[in-house]
Amino acid sequence: MTRSRFFAMAAVLLFIAACQSKKEEQQPSSQATNSAPQTLPAGEVIYTAPADWVVQPPSSSMRKAEFRWPGAEGNEDAELAVFFFPGTGGSVQANLDRWYGQFKQADGSATAQRAHTEKVDANGLVVTVTHVTGTYLKSQSPMMMSGPVEEKPNYAMLAAIVETANGPWFFKATGPEATITHWRPSFDAFVKSLRVQ
């Protein structure tokens, strides 16, 4: 091969490599997209509860608000509590795991495997909604992390965790499965109405 042909070939190969590199730069990288930091909205989460949710005085200083859902099909009422701990509150998954631990299944299976969890968008807010059924292990000492519990079979939990830059907001309802099922449509509409101010 002559020297001139060698340089001509080298130039062609460099040109092809440059074109390939340019093409790769123009293609979006899914890895970069997935690892990009998430910017969470800051501000107070505001909402308007449905008119038929009964407002209750918060039963503890840890609750920002509390509502009662009247019982359905002859069942007991359900309770929805709102929590917010500015600047803290733990991760979404840590809270889901803790909540799932408050239920047990008749067949001994893990409650987390029975839970239905999804992420929804509410006016730009990322909201994790979860629903689970089973025997609710209701603490007899709500202010304690452990202690005696009262077993409530055929119960359900319906909850939403709203992620904000100031910390997560929690909306957690527990009650008889029939009552939770009855109020599910209004809860779903409520979640979609959440926003920050």
CATH number for the segment(s) 47-196: 3.40.1000.10
Contact predicate 181/110, CB 8 Å: no
- The pLDDT assigned to 5 comes to 55
Q: Residue 100's CB: how many other CB atoms inside 10 A?
A: 20
- The pLDDT assigned to 29 comes to 32
Strand-pairing partners, residue 132, are 157
- The pLDDT assigned to 142 comes to 58
- The pLDDT assigned to 12 comes to 44
CA distance 158 to 177: 10
Which SS3 state, helix, strand or coil, does residue 129 take?
strand
Distances (CA, A) of 97 to 13, 54, 85, 124, 164: 56, 28, 18, 25, 20
- The pLDDT assigned to 197 comes to 85
Residue reference for tokens 């599910």: 184
What residues have CB less than 8 Å from 153, skipping those under 6 apart? Answer: 135, 136
* Predicted confidence pLDDT, tens digits, the chain (197 residues): 554 454 445 444 444 444 444 333 333 333 333 444 467 778 889 999 999 999 999 999 999 999 999 999 999 999 999 999 988 888 999 999 999 999 999 999 999 999 999 999 999 999 999 999 999 999 877 555 567 899 999 999 999 999 999 999 999 999 999 999 999 999 999 999 999 98
CA distance 25 to 43: 37
- The pLDDT assigned to 88 comes to 81
Domain ranges of the chain: 3-33, 47-196
- The pLDDT assigned to 38 comes to 62
User: At residue 23, what are phi and psi to the nearest 5 degrees?
Assistant: -65, -40
